[in-house]
Structure 1
């Protein structure tokens, strides 16, 4: 137990400092105890939201991280968390406003501070393209895992065996994702079709681009052993983390329009994702629970469908979090049952 808690030491420290920060921020804005407590509670809810949406992210991170060199593992767990917290939780929403409103970054920051409602409206208006990009990228991630001839372990055998047999058909997952994109494009309002298609294709090209870069960099003869299993995987995980973050960042604006409160709350949650990733790698949990990884990728597949659905209707973040946690929970139970049967045999 003590060993497990040690993995979360920095997460606990950041939580304590972050929640103090939310209290101080609330007092600064409202100058009363009620306002300070309100910011404190919202910070707690945002952290819980990020954690619930990121169980699968931690599992996928751990799966990729275990094959990386120790140097690149350390870089991902240090630089990667900085990019995740500051890049996706602060800079990314600012960039949306910069592009959408055609203003400079400092003007966007001033808008977030002085006119948070207008800032939130601009970010919300970009939700269609964000959902299309993230949905396409995540669906490719999930399908690439299941449509793989080298995959040896099946959880839902009837489905996964069929998908594995289809792996010899080149580009099958790309064709499937493009079919989903075209299906949604036919039911979207005409004004939304062009930005939806552009963002979807951008998400697909980003996935393929990261795959190509990773494949090239993993060839030791091309770039040397120093980056083998390193930079390519690092880029893949950063883009993957960004795709996971879209839902949390957009959903956070339903609770508050304060950029700094969102950054603190989601940043606390991101630290727990980092801690869970380290624990999964060091304790070799994925090897011990053979279906846990499957549950994570089913969760990613569901999240991608939810993101596509959000281009048409609002799907509450609680539903997304429960669906993801549900798949992982069932996969964990199935893994425990499998281990017990193996012990008896």
Structure 2
């Protein structure tokens, strides 16, 4: 089952890592591996949401989503989108940006380095909003309870995330942006550029978040309707057979899934700029991660179960928060790509380990409860 579901992902991983070594040596291998782990962790929710919708489609449209959809996901959002960001920020044509990335790496690096404050401000604000909205939400499972409980109480204040993000942007524009790092080690004042780019990142998040919220609301309404129909079927004694979506309904659901996938992909693509500016390594790492997201979606659909590692989402969002802070700091200071990637991997790994410990503790408690029940029965109580 695992090999059948994740076989293509394993193959793409092997090819991608070999390509990374051939392209940039062992350092490139490490960057691609980190990007892959980051993309998988940040897109975990994406796989869960996709699975919930995909199971309603018939076999044909499921196959379309997992074939054409993966091409859109990998080559659209994970390859074309980073090039577009670089082209806009460096004021290049898309074709010119690609040609420079392959044929004139020194010139490409210079342009991207000079445009980095713009990219960092846009991406830093986008990622910061994702992190703030997560930590200010009151969740059933709390990983770092000593921190998350008071933050959840503060989250009851309307627009708190947006206010904090704007304050951070103003402080950044008046501090780091006044001595923005440029190619050759020089520093220039880019306060206005950073302020505009940061506002663009904030607006982009609000638009994407609004669309995602709208689609999620529609999905919840559909699930509530189905639940009511099931309850009615139980009361009347009539069997209710789920009907898989087909035709126009499935087509529009397919388009919806692609829009939703693009929305979820923003954090991975933007976060990748905190680790590397090389669009080749970015495409390899994010492409590998996208393959695993698709495989995980299939696995969840076929198994009908969700992952038990409840703190993994927390770790991914804390990694997003760390990347947001590092992006804003790198407007003025240079930070090694491996360091920024390592911080994210450590946070995600820590959350995974905490989830494993939680599952073992729950299993032990259930075992003790079963043993107590058996003891009562044997003693005649």
Q: TM-score, normalised by structure 2?
A: 0.70
Could you report, residue by residue, the CA deviation over 1:202-252 in whole angstroms, capped at 9, with x for unpaired residues? 11111111222233344549x999599986675454244233223435744
1:314 equivalenced with 2:312 (yes/no): no
2:117 aligns to what? 128
Shift of 1:9: 1.0
Distance 1:267 1:339, change over 3 A: closer
The yes-or-no answer on 1:330 pairing with 2:354 is: no
Q: CA deviation at 1:48?
A: 1.6
Is 2:40–2:289's contact at 8 Å kept on the other side of the alignment? no
> Please, which moves more after superposition, 139-148 or 101-110?
101-110
Matched, 1:241 2:230: no
Deviation at 1:273, TM superposition (A): 5.0
Contact 2:123 2:324 in 1 (8 A): yes
SS of the residue corresponding to residue 330 of structure 1 reads helix
Q: Tell me the equivalent position of 2:156.
A: 168
Q: How far apart are the structure 1 equivalents of 2:355 and 2:280?
A: 40
Partner of 2:310, secondary structure, is coil
d(CA) in 2 for partners of 1:305, 1:252 = 16
Cα 1:201/1:37, change in 2 over 3 Å: closer
8 Å contact 2:32–2:281 — kept in the other structure? no
Change beyond 3 A, Cα 1:174–1:102: closer
Contact persistence 1:127–1:250 (CA under 8 A):
no
1:206 and 2:191 matched = no
Once residues 86 and 127 of structure 2 are traced to their aligned partners in structure 1, the CA distance between those partners, rounded to angstroms, is: 24
Whether the aligned pair in 2 keeps the contact of 1:59 and 1:277 (CA below 8 Å) is no
Is contact 2:86–2:112 with CA below 8 Å preserved after alignment? yes
Deviation string for 1:47-100 (max 9, x for gaps)? 323224334213343354354443598777555543443235543454355435
Deviation at residue 196 of structure 1 after TM alignment: 1.0
- 2:323 is aligned to 303
> 1:46-57 residue pairs with structure 2 within 5 A?
46-57=31-42
Asked if 2 retains the 8 angstrom alpha-carbon contact of 1:185 and 1:196, the reply is yes
Larger Rg: 2
- Three-state SS of the structure 1 residue aligned to 2:155 is helix
Alignment of 1:41-190 (within 5 A): 44-70=29-55, 71=57, 78=67, 81-96=70-85, 98-99=87-88, 102-149=91-138, 151-190=139-178
CA change 1:284–1:164 in 2 (3 A) is farther
SS in structure 1 at match of 2:334 = coil
Aligned residues: 324
| 1:172 CA displacement | 0.7
Is the CA contact (8 Å cut-off) linking 1:181 and 1:197 kept in structure 2?
Answer: yes
Q: Structure 1 residues 5, 314: CA separation in 2 closer, same or farther (over 3 Å shift)?
A: farther
Native 8 Å contact 1:214 1:231 kept in 2: no
Check whether the contact 1:210–1:235 (CA below 8 A) recurs between aligned residues. Answer: no
- Give the CA deviation at 1:344: 2.8
- Give the one of 298, 305, 313 matched to 1:293: 313
SS in 2 for 1:126: helix
Between the aligned partners of 1:170 and 1:232, the Cα distance in structure 2 is: 29
TM-score (norm 1): 0.76
Distance 1:289 1:15, change over 3 A: closer
Structure 2 gap ranges (5+)? 179-188, 224-248, 366-381
Q: Which consecutive unaligned segments of at least 5 residues does structure 1 have?
A: 24-35
- In the superposition, relative to structure 1, how do residues 192 and 63 fare at CA in structure 2: closer, same or farther (>3 Å)? farther
